[in-house]
Structure 1
Amino acid sequence: MDRIPILRMGEFLLVTIQVDMHDKLALTLQDDLAERIRKTAARGVLIDISSLDIVDSFIGRMISTISGLSRIMDAETVVVGMQPAVAITLVELGLTLPGVRTALDVERGMSLLRESLDTR
């Protein structure tokens, strides 16, 4: 079964989605990420979606669900690398992704995560 790698970087987990997401892969990622947050006590999750050209409503909801799940487990979530077409699609679908913070790139996303830890 396909899996998306989850890398640990200090207190954070980095997820780089390099393949087209399908529903089963998205659900597997959600489960894997929850387990890794639990095992590592990660304080932040950075999800890089720069390789995704298309995000449908299911994937959008999955990102929102991961953010909520992370928050419950005491970890912040930042999504980085969103293509303009993906942002437009999410708005057109009416998905606001509550609780999901965004940044243009990985560097800025890591800065957001560090800032959120400093203000806790």
Structure 2
Amino acid sequence: MASNIPILQIGRNLIVPIQGDLYDQLVLELQSDILNRIEKTAAAGLILDISALDFVDSFMARVLNDIATMAGLMGTRTVVVGLSPAIAMILMELGLQLSNVPTARNLEKGLKLLAELLGPEQDKAGEDVRHDE
């Protein structure tokens, strides 16, 4: 079952704008959708944009970390963008962190960071933007 959260593709990178109220099953479906999309596209990079989220609980933080870890095992580098002060405080209060997951303030900075992390392996070809639900 699809999560109905869009997964955008720009070149060899996937961008996932996570928004709305997320319940545990939807988060797990999103994780599966992202991993399937990585396999299908051989994505070099993944950006998880959480700027539209008002709240992140311990389960969501763990799944975000798991997505980044699993993507890394599949050869895809992950950057989380849009971590608001409120979400950062929630994560600290819960004693959680996104271990080994680079973060950036916004999508623009996230794309630059991802390009640095990928270095010469980043395929600059393909400016098409695709949307898959």
**TM-score (norm: length of structure 1):** 0.95
Provide structure 2 residue ranges, at least 5 long, that are not aligned to the other structure: 122-133
SS of residue in 2 equivalent to 1:74 = coil
What does residue range 34-53 of structure 1 map to in structure 2 within 5 Å?
A: 34-53=35-54
How many correspondences in the alignment? 120
Q: CA RMSD in A?
A: 1.3
Residue 75 of structure 1, CA deviation: 0.6
**Structure 1: tracts of 5 or more residues without a match:** none
User: Which gives a bigger RCO, structure 1 or 2 (Cα 8 Å, sep 6+)?
Assistant: 2
For 1:55, the aligned partner's letter is V
Alpha-carbon offset, residue 97 of structure 1: 1.3
Amino-acid identity (%): 48
Asked if structure 1 preserves the Cα contact closer than 8 Å seen for 2:68 and 2:77, the reply is: yes
Map 1:6-21 to 2 at 5 A. Answer: 6-21=7-22
Q: How does 1:59-74 map to 2 (within 5 A)?
A: 59-74=60-75
Counterpart of 2:8 in 1: which secondary structure? strand
Q: Summarize deviations over 1:45-103 as a string: whole Å, max 9, x none.
A: 00111110100000000100001001000011111111111000001111121121100
Q: Which runs of 4+ in 1 moved over 3 A?
A: none
Q: Which moved more, 1:110-119 or 1:41-50?
A: 110-119
**CA drift at 1:9:** 0.6
